[in-house]
Structure formats: structure tokens, C-alpha cells
Structure 1
Amino acid sequence: MGCAEENPEEKPKCNPFGTRFLTDDAKVFEHNAWDDVEWSEEQQEEAKRIVENQQSMKVDEEKAMRLLSAPADQWDAFYAHNENRFFKDRNWLLKEFPELDVNEACNSENVTVKILEVGCGVGNTTFPLMQVNNSSSRLFLHSCDYAPNAIRVLKSQEAYDPEKMNAFVWDITQPTPEEAPAPESLDYIVCIYVLSAIHPDKIRKALSNLMSLLKPGGTLLLKDYGRYDLTQLRFKKDRLIEGNLYCRGDGTLVYFFEMEELEALLGEFKMKKKVMHVDRRLIVNRAKQVKMYRQWIQGKFLKPVEL
């Protein structure tokens, strides 16, 4: 399943985001979701107005300082309370990132494919990836999270296989721990809703740490929250910290990116864009006749081979 990579300005021709397009507004409630839905100018202006109004309802400074001083603590408390009962397995991974089915590469090239999943939580990406690639003896999956309770829960599950997996605690804004993979050893790094959990001032350090582990020719696969996603627009009082950085009710942080912003960040590390796309999806509650607009950013970036 190949995507358009020659012209990165194009949307992926393999269309991993779905092919149900809304061409008749009168039929909007016939399905639960529609793909690649463009916003009207009025919707864009309304979204900007909502975000501007949030500026007058910021989190108080003392609370903001507390949340920003130890962001991992909020996620650690989250996993201590929820264990593995909250998030669903990401069984959609291969639809958006078909590269992660490494069976063919492993079998044909007789090499070990090494992947690092960042922000692994309790294994909702880890275990689906291993299940897909269970016929391969040459996949090794590193999984890290900065919440010790997440790693504890992941490693306690029956499906955890230390012969094929290495789960470890790491705040990617800090130096790499001993358990981390060797420099320039990884074929893929997977970041799903990871960069949005980091303060914008620390993202460059996090990317520098990650890129040092990716081998020349290796690929960064990412998905994260887009600017004016429904989640951002629904935030009320005491959620905005600064800019486009918010805290959820449980204290965890979330930042909303523009596509050009993420591309520029990765460009600072000489990463070459293969594919980048804003996944605009209209989710429909047919029973309540409610429309919900979601926006995610998906990208694939290649680390150049030094000449």
C-alpha cells in the first residue's frame, strides 16, 4: 500500500484517511463519519473567535506553574487510577501507517527492524503492533513513556514478551536512559499524540533526543491534534494555559498544532517530509443530530542519509 511521496504537497494517493466524502449536505446524518471535510469560511472564523475568547478564561498562574513543573505526574496518576481500562487498542494503525507491517521487510532483507513507540501508555499501540507482526522473528519494539505506572501496567500484561519488547520509563525532554535504544539504531519512531503533551518550549529538546536515535534513512511517523479541533473549541474556563496549550480536567497537557508549525519544527532537524496531511473528519451523532468536527495532523518524515 504505497503513498504519494514524490510530491509531499499532495494528499496521500493511498488515501489512508477514508473515502466517504460528503457531497450532499442533506445526507449528512446517513453515516456516523465523513472524511476530508473542508471547513467553510464562517466555521473558520467562528473557531478563531472561540479561541480568542478563551484568552479571558485562563488557568490561574499558580495552577499553571504546578502543572507545567511536573507534567509526567498527571499522567502517572491517570494510569495509576485507570490501569489499562481507559484507551482502546489502536487497530487503525496500519491504515494510516502501513510501514508498520514489517513482515515483508523482515523476511526479504534478513534484518531486524527496530521501532520505538513514544508515549506508549499501557500498550494500546505496542500490543496491536506485535500482533500484526507476530510471524516475524526480526521485529524488535522499544516502548517508552514518562509515566512509571504506564510502564508497570504494560510490562505486567501477559502479552509482554521481553524477547521482542523493551518497555522503559523516559521523559523525552531529558537525556536518554540506559534502557533506551542505541544512537542511530532505529528504523522507525512512532509518535501518536505525543508532542502535544509537551510544553512548546521543550519540544525541540525532545525532537533532538529522538532524532539522535533514528538511523540515517529512518522514518518518523506522527499523528497529533490539529488547531481548532473540537477538543480545543470545547474547552471552557480554567483550561487555557498559554497560546494553544491547555490542561484537561485531569491535569494532563495538550497542545494544538498547525501543520506548517510541525513541518517547520522538523525541518530544523533536517527531516525530509514524505507525506503530511490534515485529517479533517466530521463525526455525526445521528440520534441527537449533532455534528462534531475533528482535525488531526498526520505526517511521515525521513532522516536524510549523510553523504
Structure 2
Amino acid sequence: DNVEWSEEQELVARKKITENSTITLNNEELKKFEEDADEYWNKFYGIHQNRFFKDRHWLFTEFPELAPQRVKNDLNIPQRAMSSEHESTMQNNIKLNELDDTQKEQKIFEIGCGVGNTIFPILMYNSNPNLFVYGCDFSSTAIDILKENAEFDDKRCNAFVLDATKDNWSTPFDEESLDIVLLIFVLSSITPE
């Protein structure tokens, strides 16, 4: 978010992390929450529907690749998208001239899509007629809510239930056919083991 913390703010945050780290669950409780996570998320979405998380319109500042035409036409160009005459110290930065091909087929896959708070802004702002977005979540309730949204268009999007922690996946796309994979809040919620 390009926010710089003062030393005092960082010390307060580290203290709070240390305090919160003293409260732990036993292994049996941890196993239960992990094994039944889909049930807890189904209950969560059953209660909150699509009213809890906000649509992520900020994504295009951090990840201009998700809607390159918007970045190209926007006067407030994100910091990581530079004009071709500027050099970058980071190899992964993109240049505006690399964003020009908006007619090329583009496939984006979001793991942990919930009710579409990332998918719908991508579909709204990315003007590529050859864009297709896949989204999965292990909450069947979230996928149902996403598909009931008036903005859902199965010609541009496919949402399906998938447990990303499993070894074998059944997906509606071929291996190595995706351009971008998003895991915005998923990795932090899965145990490394």
C-alpha cells in the first residue's frame, strides 16, 4: 500500500503480534478448524452473503497487468507501470508499451475468489474482449452467491468449488494455459505443511 510506518508504529505492531502469539489452540482444535474450514466459510457466507468484503478496485494500482487498457488510459499511472524511456531496477516491472495488446487472449485464475470481490472489478475494468476469468473457492455457498450476482457472465467467467490444499485438482482449463494466477488472501490462511 506504499505506507511507511514510523519506528513507534512498528514497535506497537510487533508488541501486538507477540501478545497475540501467546494465545494458541491445541493440535486437535487446529486440525478440526483446518479439516472443516469449508463448513466454517459456508456458515460465514451464509450469514454475510456478499456484504462483508469490499470489491478490490485498488488492485489495478498494485497489479496493472489485470487491466492494462485502464492503466494505459489512466492519468494516475501506478508506480510500477513506467514509460519505455525509464529504466527499472526491478526486472519484474512492466512497461506501458507491454500493455498495448488488449486483443490477445488472456486467462486469469483466482484461487480463493469468495463471492467475486476481485473477479467483478477485473471484469469491469479489463476491456479485453478475449479475457476469461476463472475463480475457485472451497466454499460452495460463496460460489453460489458469486453466480447469483447480476454481473456474473458465464461467457467471461467460470466459478467453481475447489479445495486448493488438495494434491489433485479438477479444473476447467488445461495445465499451463493461464496468464495470471491470483492468491490474494489465500496463502496466509493455509498452513505451510
Same fold? TM cut 0.5 = yes
Query: Secondary structure of 2:183's match?
Result: strand
Which amino acid in 2 is paired with 1:78?
Answer: F
Unaligned runs of 5+ in 2: 73-97
Select the residue among 60, 65, 74 that pairs with 1:94.
60
Select the residue among 177, 181, 185 that pairs with 2:177.
185
What is the alpha-carbon distance in structure 2 between the residues aligned to residue 49 and residue 109 of structure 1?
Answer: 47
What is the alpha-carbon distance in structure 2 between the residues aligned to residue 136 and residue 57 of structure 1?
Answer: 48
Identity over the aligned pairs, expressed in percent? 36
Match of 2:89 in 1: none
Match of 2:38 in 1: 72
Q: How far does residue 194 in structure 1 lie from its aligned partner after superposition?
A: 1.1
Match of 1:165 in 2: 157
Select the residue among 139, 149, 171 that pairs with 2:141.
149
Match of 1:122 in 2: 115
Which amino acid in 2 is paired with 1:165?
Answer: C
Select the residue among 181, 186, 190 that pairs with 1:198.
190
Give the structure with the larger strand fraction.
Answer: 1
Q: Cα deviations across residues 127-181 of structure 1 (Å, max 9, x unaligned)? A: 1110102x321101111111111100001111111111011111111221143x2
Q: Which region of structure 1 is more displaced relative to structure 2, 91-100 or 104-113?
A: 104-113
State how 1:24-63 maps to structure 2 within 5 Å: 35-37=3-5, 39-40=6-7, 44=10, 47-63=13-29
Q: Structure 1 178/60 Cα, relative in aligned 2: closer, same or farther at 3 Å?
A: closer
Which amino acid in 2 is paired with 1:183?
Answer: E
Q: How far does residue 51 in structure 1 lie from its aligned partner after superposition?
A: 3.8
Q: Structure 1 46/169 Cα, relative in aligned 2: closer, same or farther at 3 Å?
A: same
For these two proteins, the number of residue pairs brought into alignment is 165
Q: Structure 1 50/164 Cα, relative in aligned 2: closer, same or farther at 3 Å?
A: closer
Q: Cα deviations across residues 215-241 of structure 1 (Å, max 9, x unaligned)? A: xxxxxxxxxxxxxxxxxxxxxxxxxxx
Unaligned runs of 5+ in 1: 1-16, 19-34, 202-307
Q: How far does residue 59 in structure 1 lie from its aligned partner after superposition?
A: 2.3
Q: Structure 1 178/129 Cα, relative in aligned 2: closer, same or farther at 3 Å?
A: closer
